[in-house]
């Protein structure tokens, strides 16, 4: 069989953009500690509504069989998703990555048993299909200005390259969330990036 896989473009954050994200989260951790508000999430309840939607792609049988499966959590924050999954009875071999050192420090101090590393997805040399599932919650909500992403038409290219890489590294499923362009409040926040749901479904 011919391998039709196409290597995804390597689209990385600029140093300026990376610093901006890191500073934003450093400030929020100093202000709120290891709480959902430090993740720019208004409450645990809202955070978990998002987690539930991601978890919906997992076969329930995995839970019943207490199966061990691998999960890469992109932009893991404090690795709260791992706690949520365990509460539901899922036991992934969890790997979290996050570009903000303050988040990684928080996640590691609360979960020393987990594998958590600092960086964006393009910094890692994971293998094709290395993880059963690759998931992301809330990590692609900011407008990103990479070197390749200077104009309004190019906005979203970074997010798409991350999603493409998520497919590259998974063997069973990908789940993520983005902001919906049709939400009125999103229009009032030029610092946030949003997408038309049907465009993203087509892209995927
Ligand atoms: C809204 S928080 C969500 C954290 C976690 N996923 C949760 O739901 O609890 C977004 C996280 O993504 C991280 N992040 C933002 N852009 C990223 C990128 N390009 N690559 C990796 N992490 C990123 C931030 O540092 C932050 O910790």
**Domain covering 15-203, topology:** Rossmann fold (3.40.50)
What was the pLDDT predicted at 153?
A: 60
CA of 166 to the centre of ligand 1 (A): 14
Q: Where are the domains of the chain?
A: 15-203
Q: Any residues with Cβ below 6 Å from ligand 1, and which?
A: 13, 21, 25, 39-41, 47, 74-77, 80-81, 98-100, 103, 120, 137-139
* Whole-number Å distance between alpha carbons of 33 and 183: 29
Rounded mean pLDDT of the chain? 90
Residue nearest to atom 15 of ligand 1 (CA): 139
pLDDT, tens digit (0-9, with 9 covering 90-100), for 30-85: 999 998 899 988 899 999 999 999 999 999 888 877 888 999 999 999 999 999 99
Which long-range contacts link 98-103 to residues 24+ away (Cβ below 8 Å)?
A: 98/139, 99/13, 99/18, 99/21, 99/22, 99/75, 100/21, 100/22, 100/25, 100/26, 101/22, 101/26, 102/22, 102/25, 102/26, 102/29, 102/30, 103/25, 103/29, 103/39, 103/76, 103/77, 103/78
Q: Which two tokens stand for residue 198?
A: 């049907």
């Amino acid at each position: 069989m011919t391998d039709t896989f196409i290597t995804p473009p390597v689209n990385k954050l600029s140093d300026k953009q990376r610093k901006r994200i890191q500073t934003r989260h450093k400030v929020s951790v100093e202000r709120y500690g290891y709480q959902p508000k430090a993740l720019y999430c208004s409450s645990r309840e809202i955070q978990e509504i998002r987690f539930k939607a991601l978890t919906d792609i997992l076969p329930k049988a995995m839970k019943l069989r207490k199966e061990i499966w691998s999960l890469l959590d992109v932009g893991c924050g404090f690795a709260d998703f791992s706690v949520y999954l365990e509460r539901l009875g899922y036991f992934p071999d969890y790997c979290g990555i996050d570009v903000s050192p303050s988040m990684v420090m928080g996640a590691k101090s609360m979960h020393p048993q987990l594998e958590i590393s600092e960086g964006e997805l393009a910094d890692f040399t994971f293998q094709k299909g290395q993880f059963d599932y690759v998931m992301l919650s809330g990590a692609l909500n900011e407008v990103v200005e990479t070197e390749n992403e200077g104009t309004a038409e190019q906005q979203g290219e970074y997010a798409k390259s991350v999603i493409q890489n998520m497919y590259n590294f998974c063997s069973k499923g990908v789940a993520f969330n983005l902001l919906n362009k049709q939400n009125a409040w999103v229009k009032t926040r030029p610092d946030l990036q949003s997408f038309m749901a049907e465009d993203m479904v087509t892209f995927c």
